[in-house]
Amino acid sequence: MSLLMIPGPTTPAQRVMLAMSRPLINHRGPEFKLLLEEIQTGLKYVFQTENPIVILTSSGTGGMEFAVSNVINKSDTVIVPTMGFFCDRFAEIVEACGGRVSRIQIEWGSSVKPDMVEEAFARERNVKAILIIHNETSTGVLVRDLAEISRIAHDHDALVIVDAISSLGGVELLTDKWSIDACVTGSQKCIAAPPGLAFVSVSERFIEEAKRVNRGVYFNLKAYLEYMERGQTPYTPSIPLLYALSEALKMIREEGLEARIARHRKCAKAFYRAIEALDLEPYPFEYEYRSKTVIAVKTPKNIDSEELVKTMRLKHSVVVSGGQGKLRGSIFRIGCMGNVSAYEVLATVNALESSLAYLGYGVEKVGVGLAEAGKVLWSS
């Protein structure tokens, strides 16, 4: 069996997978209502919010479209910092909903900064919303200034919509404290449940704005809120996935959110220490904006990242990802999320060192990265 170390989906715990074998129940019955209440409580803990959280049977992209389509009308102006593949997708969704995108063009590998957002609002009038990718999965960049960016947006009376698909549950994100109007994540990354569910927390202001928009059917916020009052979803949900989600949320509560975030941080530090010991270069060129959940690394010269990924998979049964879009062939990405522990870190570093040596890079460095990662992992 391969070790899955891509930036999602992650490998759920056995108890999470076993939960899906439970008998199905009536999704309009009292048992389902209790299940949904339990899940709402667990999700609110992870989101750090008292706002209602919509549960969608969809991918994270479905959650992104839900958040946009419920508040963006034709010709509404939306600011989107574009610094990677998924930022571009966010902009594409806005345009598909008829909105006008005002892009903050940022070099891939860098992060949006508060001053850039101030300048964007100075250029535009009547901005409806700003859309932020908290953790750009394609480049391994974490937006550390989200709280300040949210404050700036609210000073200009704009909604704040955040894609936290590859960060929530692994990195600090305080939905209510940072005044995030809609926060989107998926089941398959830091929450460590199987893929197929998306979650969107919605503020009171977001709910009010949604009343002014002509919505579709499946992604109609009004329907989800009405059915939420009954302890139901408006359309048939994936009950086995909800069983799994419930178990994954119990595991997060048992570990404690702060401890979980600290574990992600320590594992990421071990990965970065190993990468530096191997004379490799993280793709994000600003140290403080390196992701703690997606480790993006430049491939050495004369080595194609797709060949490196293939070698790690075939010779070591460790599965990592290559680059996306214009980064295909030039970087590789390691998922550091969900149930990641010392075992996964060391197994991945070992596979990386050996595969690089097999491809002709750093033969003399085999074992160096492993030793450095170990120093981080076993330190107090």
Please write the tens of the pLDDT for every residue from 1-21. Answer: 899 999 999 999 999 999 999
Kindly state the average pLDDT of the residues 123-137: 97
User: Strands 331-335 and 321-322: what pairing?
Assistant: antiparallel
Kindly state the average pLDDT of the residues 66-75: 96
Q: How far is 128 from 108, CA to CA, in rounded Å? A: 25
CB-based contact 204:159 (threshold 8 Å): no
Closest to 332 measured CA to CA, from 278, 283, 274, 272: 283
Q: How far is 220 from 66, CA to CA, in rounded Å? A: 8
**Tokens linked to 287:** 């140290």
Max Cα distance, the chain (Å): 64
Residue 216 has pLDDT above 90, yes or no: no
CB-based contact 199:233 (threshold 8 Å): no
Q: How far is 124 from 127, CA to CA, in rounded Å? A: 7
Helix orientation angle between 239-255 and 257-277, rounded to the nearest 10 degrees: 80
Q: How far is 302 from 361, CA to CA, in rounded Å? A: 9
Please write the tens of the pLDDT for every residue from 277-299. Answer: 999 999 998 999 999 999 999 99
Q: How much is the pLDDT for 297?
A: 98
CB-based contact 134:161 (threshold 8 Å): no
Burial degree of 285 (CB within 10 A; 0-12, 13-18, 19+) = middle
Q: How much is the pLDDT for 379?
A: 87
Q: How far is 90 from 61, CA to CA, in rounded Å? A: 9
Q: Say which amino acid occupies 369.
A: G
> Whole-number mean pLDDT of the chain?
97
Q: How much is the pLDDT for 1?
A: 86
Share of the chain above pLDDT 70, in %: 100
* 3-class secondary structure, 373: helix
Residue 271 has pLDDT above 90, yes or no: yes
Residue 145 has pLDDT above 90, yes or no: yes
Q: How much is the pLDDT for 290?
A: 98
User: Strands 127-133 and 159-163: what pairing?
Assistant: parallel
CA distances to 21, 112, 295, 368, 371 from 279, in Å: 46, 27, 15, 10, 14
Q: How much is the pLDDT for 214?
A: 77
Residue 359 has pLDDT above 80, yes or no: yes
Sequential DSSP letters for 229-279: HTT--SS---HHHHHHHHHHHHHHHHH-HHHHHHHHHHHHHHHHHHHHHTT
Closest to 311 measured CA to CA, from 378, 357, 260: 357
Q: How far is 160 from 182, CA to CA, in rounded Å? A: 7
Q: Label residue 152 by pLDDT band (50, 70, 90).
A: very high
The tokens 């958040």 sit on which residue? 67
Q: How far apart are the first and last CA of the chain?
A: 32
| Omega before 9 within 30 of 0, i.e. cis | yes
Q: Label residue 79 by pLDDT band (50, 70, 90).
A: very high
Length of the chain: 380
Phi and psi (nearest 5°) for 159? Answer: -70, 150
Please write the tens of the pLDDT for every residue from 297-354. Answer: 999 999 999 999 999 999 999 999 999 989 999 999 999 999 999 999 999 999 999 9
Q: How much is the pLDDT for 215?
A: 78
List of domains in the chain? 14-254 (3.40.640.10), 256-377 (3.90.1150.10)
